[in-house]
C-alpha cells in the first residue's frame, strides 16, 4: 500500500487540529515541523511576522519521518502576513528533492490563503494534487467535515496512491471529525 505523510507547522494549534483529522482520514503518518526559536507571546509574533514578510528561512529540527519514504506528502501551514511561515519554507527547501506528489492545506484568520497555497507550489516546485484552506472560526466551530471530506476525495480521484484509513475506519466518521 502507498505511504502518505502529513507534515505540519502550528504555532497555536489550528493547523495541528486539521493535520490530525487529515492524517486520520487518509491513514497517513503525522509529523510536526519544529523550530528552535520560541514564537510565544508578542515577541514571538513579531519575529514570526518579520521572518514571513522577508521570506527568511528558520532553523528547524530534523524531521522524524524522512519524506523520501512516502508517495504523497501533505503539508499543512498557517498563513503569516499573507506568506509562508519561515519554518515551513525551510522544511520545503530542505526536503523538496525527496517529494513525489504533494498537496497543501492552510489555516488562516481571513486573508492571504490563496497566495500562500500558490507560494507552496512554487516552493515545492510542483503542482498540488489538491489544496484546502480553512479559517480559524471554521476550525473552532468544527463545521468542516464536508469540506475536508471533499479535499480527501479529490486526493483520491487525482491519485491512485491514497491508502485506506487505518484500522478499517470509514474515510470520514462524524465522531472522528467532530461535526
Ligand atoms: C505572525 C502572524 C501573521 C499572521 N498573518 C495572517 C494573515 O496574513 N492572514 C490571515 O488570515 N491570518 C494570519 N494570521 C493568523 C493565522 O494564520 C491563523 O490564526 C492560523 O490558523 C494559525 O495557525 P496555528 O494555530 O496552526 O498556528 C497570522 C498569524 C501570525 C502568528
Mutation probe of ligand 1 site: the residue of 81, 85, 89, 135 with most atoms within 8 A of C-beta? 81
Pocket of ligand 1 from Cβ distances under 6 Å: 10-16, 45, 48-49, 78-82, 107-112, 136
Q: Which atom of ligand 1 is nearest to the CA of 108?
A: 17
How many whole angstroms separate alpha carbon 20 and alpha carbon 147? 15
Q: Are 90 and 62 in contact (CB under 8 A)?
A: no
Ligand 1, atom 7, lies closest to the CA of 81
Class of domain 4-164 (CATH, top level): alpha beta
pLDDT for 35-85, tens place per residue? 998 899 999 999 999 999 999 999 999 999 999 999 999 999 999 999 999
CA 137 to chain centre: 18
pLDDT for 93-112, tens place per residue? 999 999 999 999 999 999 99
Amino acid at each position: 500500500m502507498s505511504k502518505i505523510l502529513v507534515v505540519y507547522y502550528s504555532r497555536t494549534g489550528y493547523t495541528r487540529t486539521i493535520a490530525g483529522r487529515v492524517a486520520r482520514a487518509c491513514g497517513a503518518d503525522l509529523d510536526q515541523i519544529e523550530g528552535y526559536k520560541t514564537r510565544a507571546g508578542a515577541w514571538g509574533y513579531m519575529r514570526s511576522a518579520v521572518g514571513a514578510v522577508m521570506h527568511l528561512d528558520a532553523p528547524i529540527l530534523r524531521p522524524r519521518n524522512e519524506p523520501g519514504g512516502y508517495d504523497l506528502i501533505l503539508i499543512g501551514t498557517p498563513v503569516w502576513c499573507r506568506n509562508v511561515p519561515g519554518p515551513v519554507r525551510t522544511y520545503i527547501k530542505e526536503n523538496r528533492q525527496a517529494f513525489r506528489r504533494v498537496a497543501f492545506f492552510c489555516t488562516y484568520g481571513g486573508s492571504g490563503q490563496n497566495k500562500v497555497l500558490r507560494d507552496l507550489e512554487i516552493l515545492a516546485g510542483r503542482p498540488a494534487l489538491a489544496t484546502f484552506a480553512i479559517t480559524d472560526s471554521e476550525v473552532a466551530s468544527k463545521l468542516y467535515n464536508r469540506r475536508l471530506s471533499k479535499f480527501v476525495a479529490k486526493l483520491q480521484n487525482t491519485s491512485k496512491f491514497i491508502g485506506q484509513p487505518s484500522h478499517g475506519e470509514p474515510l470520514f466518521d462524524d465522531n472522528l471529525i467532530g461535526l
